[in-house]
Amino acid sequence: MKAKLYIVLLLIIAIVNTYAQKFELGKVSVAELNEKKHPIDSSAVAAVLFKRGKTFFTYTNATGFTANHECEFRIKIYSLEGLSWANQKVSYYVGYENLNDDKVRFSSAVTYNLEDGKIVKTKLNNEGNFKTKINKYWNQATITLPNVKIGSVIEFKYVLESENLVRFPDFDFQYDIPVNFFEYKTEIPEYFIYNSLLKGSQEIETKMEVVDSKKEYALGYKQNNSLYSSKNIPALNKEEFVDNIDNYLGAIQNELETKRFPDMPVVDYARTWEGVAATIYKNKNFGDEIKIRNYYSKDLNGLLLHINTPVERLNVIFKYVQNKMNWNKVMGYYADKGVEKAYESKTGNVAEINFMLISMLKTAGIIANPVLVSTIENGIPVFPNRTVFNYVIAVAEIDGQKILLDITNKFTTSNVLPLNLLNWQGRLIKEDGSSKEIDLIPAIVSEDHYNIKATIQPDLRIIEGLLTVKRTDYSAFNFRETNGDKSKDIYLEYLENNLNKIEITDYFIDNKSQDLAKPVFESFNFKWDHSYDNIAGKLFLNPILFFTVTTNPFRQEVRQMPIYFGYPHRYIYTVSLKVPHGYSIESLPASIRIVTENKEASYVMNVNSEKDTVNIEVVKEINKAIFAAEDYDMLKNYFQQVIAKQNEKIVLKKI
């Protein structure tokens, strides 16, 4: 019996040791190097075998507390596409006013390969380790692991030191490759209370305890320890119609809520949105900048001469500032050099330009306030904090109607913002510190209306005709921004290719940039070769010609992320098709109405004929900007029905 127990204990010890070695740098196994594909996800180009992280605090009399963020990685490379994981980057902040710059140190960077059955290690030298400046606020530390090839295992460690305790860097545990195991520990002195948020849809294990710190500050302190872990985290793959995939990757976020030192007043950092708003507005580079008015007074007085109604005043001021000012591409919600210097130089950051607009509108008697925004690429603000926002716009109010405004872009207009600002909700803040959420997703439905008058030429195997296009609101903005700088020849080449290789002549465009509040109009003659099938004397045509869609954009079986369309959109196709001499109509597609269960997407096709003309009208609408992932099957089925209907044929027979 004892012998059996001894054997069992040996087995348990062996298993524990193997498990521990698996998650320890420098303990790469032959089995890991021999692995040809991921055991769960055979399509993976690489995999994170483990990621271990730890955030802990150190203290010195000179600087006080410093947060240390430590990460260890082991990554397996399975294919050529996975070699990009040999390049690793860590961004760190260097733009503090009264704190020392963050610091990053890489170490233990090694590549492992299997050669003749033996493990060969290649260590990183100084040539593969360098730092670059991104902008005045951010630097980036980069390493390139050496001798990385298909089958390699790479390891590295980095430590990010920061005196900024307001927010920790996100601890990401999900990527576009699978993660076999992760573990993240935080050891936080009792003087700091953090809001913790789990981002993404993955369930993880969490353990928390309060212990006596082994480090000394004053007479010692309690420490709040947390441990987060999980295994077999699947890759989050790219999908069609996604706003920002990073919004849905699994991560752990921590932001400082309260600081409470003995015998000192408690400091609240981000307990409520009102607290966040008041803190931001009181900053001299925010609220004080909006109040300054003397630098534009003379120009504004002349501008508003004989302009009476609030709407007219808003439009005149908006256009004036939009034409005068140039955005230097710097985001943020604080002024940098200040509105006066920016006005003088005609160049400023986001805050400076939109603060000018807010101030001028207020001076003109229009209610106007700033709105904090997080751009799509920056992520979604979830809980009250100051660090998630990276942009500020204006909102005006006339007759109870709110009008969103941003003048960093030369093609925006009232209630039409740059597309990367259509990110759920912003936070409107007022001088008194009050705030409220404000929808950024537009309620108006933008429209593309295509009107085609076409004739079939059977002898030449072509369809030719006239196409006119009308684009409104966000559709017009998107067109202007995308094509504003393109030459006519480049644009027409793109258009011909995009419309199934048609040939365009007599192109005309109206209101490309003159009045941004009004639609853009295009018109041109076209000729389309091999545009239909001629079988046994019968002609088979698609009802909406070269606008026919043949492939469903939703092809995967399971959807992981919400479906993002950006803004409500209506497409109208009106086709008048003249039947050629010597032919008659044999059959037409039946008129139909396809509607999703929630009635947020619809497709209506009406088909009729009159003498020698076939008339088709199609209205396709997406009336919702964002659909939940649970709606995926419904949308997939809707698109499949629409595609099938679009590909039903008009059949003309020879008389």
Which domains are present in the chain? 28-259 (2.60.40.3140), 273-439 (3.10.620.30), 446-654 (2.60.120.1130)
- Mean per-residue pLDDT of the chain: 92
DSSP string, 226-260: EEEEEEEEPP----SS-S-GGGTS-EEEEEEEEE-
User: Tokens 């709105």 map to which residue?
Assistant: 371
Q: How far apart are CA 428 and CA 437, in angstroms?
A: 6
Q: How far apart are CA 195 and CA 189, in angstroms?
A: 14
Q: Is 608 exposed, middle or buried, given 0-12, 13-18 or 19+ CB atoms closer than 10 A?
A: exposed
User: Of the candidates 70, 92, 57, 53, which has an alpha carbon nearest to the alpha carbon of residue 256?
Assistant: 57
CA 310 to chain centre: 35
How far from chain centre, in Å, is Cα 4? 59
Where does the pLDDT of residue 655 fall: very low under 50, low under 70, confident under 90, or very high at 90 and above?
A: confident
For 548, the 3-state DSSP assignment is: coil
Looking at residue 5, what is its pLDDT? 36
Q: What is the pLDDT of residue 384?
A: 74
| Sign of torsion over alpha carbons 16, 20, 23, 29 | negative
Read off the pTM.
0.84
**Helices and strands (H, E) in the chain, number of each type:** 11, 36
Tell the residue number behind the tokens 């716009």, with chain if given. Answer: 393
Q: What are phi and psi of 126, to 5 degrees?
A: -65, -25
pLDDT for position 219: 57
Res 148 pLDDT > 50: yes
Average pLDDT over residues 297-326: 96
With beta carbons less than 8 A apart as the criterion, state whether 584 and 655 touch: yes
Residue 23 pLDDT: 85
Give the confidence band of 7 by pLDDT, cuts at 50, 70, 90.
very low
Identify any residues that bridge with 188 across adjacent strands, giving them in sequence order. 224
Question: What distance in Å separates the CA atoms of residue 343 and residue 337, rounded to the nearest whole number?
Answer: 10
Residue labelled with tokens 């229009």: 366
Biggest CA-to-CA distance, the chain: 104
Share of the chain above pLDDT 70, in %: 95
CA distance 99 to 96: 5
In DSSP notation, 155-167 reads: EEEEEEEES--SB
The Cα 155–Cα 27 span in angstroms is 10
Q: What is the mean pLDDT of residues 273-287?
A: 88
Look at residue 21 in the predicted model and tell me its pLDDT.
Answer: 43
- Which of 105-114, 139-148, 172-181, 376-385 is the least confident region? 376-385
Please return the burial class of 549, using the count of CB atoms within 10 Å of its CB with bins 0-12, 13-18 and 19+.
middle
pLDDT in tens, 566-603: 999 999 999 999 999 999 999 999 999 999 999 999 99
Nearest 10 degrees: Cα torsion 476, 479, 481, 483: -150
**Neighbouring residues of 489: CB distance < 8 A, sequence distance ≥ 6:** none
pLDDT at 270: 61
Cα 463 to chain center, whole Å? 41
The whole-angstrom separation of Cα 7 and Cα 360 is 83
* Residue 162 main-chain phi, psi, to 5 deg: -145, 135
pLDDT tier, 1 (very low <50, low <70, confident <90, very high otherwise): very low
- Tell me the chain's radius of gyration from C-alpha atoms: 31
Per the CB < 8 A criterion, the answer to whether 531 and 501 are in contact is no
Which of 554, 555, 561 is CA-nearest to residue 626? 561
Contacts of 264 (CB under 8 A, 6+ apart): none
AA letter at 234: P
Residue 10 has pLDDT above 50, yes or no: no
